[in-house]
Amino acid sequence: MEEVTDRRGAPEAPPLKAFDEIVKREPYPVENKAREIIRRLRLGGITRFLLLFRGSKTRSELVATFMAVLELCRNNLIRLAGADRDCTVVCEDGVTEDTTYDLT
């Protein structure tokens, strides 16, 4: 058991200051991204799945985009069609940006 708990020779943990940039970033709201996706689909009609991620500036925004797509699909507000990398996204009839208010 001593071999397992012996920390001699193990690298030191990084200082807490090393995590400042990670911790102080604000998460990107999923609801905002859902509204943006609906707006894009209402204006353009149809888009490719991967194009929804274009222009994302942070990892948080990428995650919010993916979560928004999952929530919009789960609530039957958008539809994904296709296979593998050739997936398209379309908005269901009658869906508006205001429809997404209860996603989160």
List, for residues 55-103, the tens digit of each pLDDT value. 888 888 999 999 999 999 999 999 999 877 778 998 888 777 777 556 6
Q: SS in 3 state form for 50-84?
A: HHHHCCCCCHHHHHHHHHHHHHHHHCCCEEEECCC
Q: Is the pTM of this model over 0.85?
A: no
Length of the chain: 104
Q: 4-46: per-residue pLDDT in tens? A: 556 566 677 778 777 766 656 678 889 999 999 999 999 988 9
Q: Give φ, ψ of 16 to 5 degrees.
A: -60, -30
- Long-range contacts of 53-56, Cβ-Cβ distance < 8 Å, separation of 24 or more: none
pLDDT at 1: 42
pLDDT at 77: 92
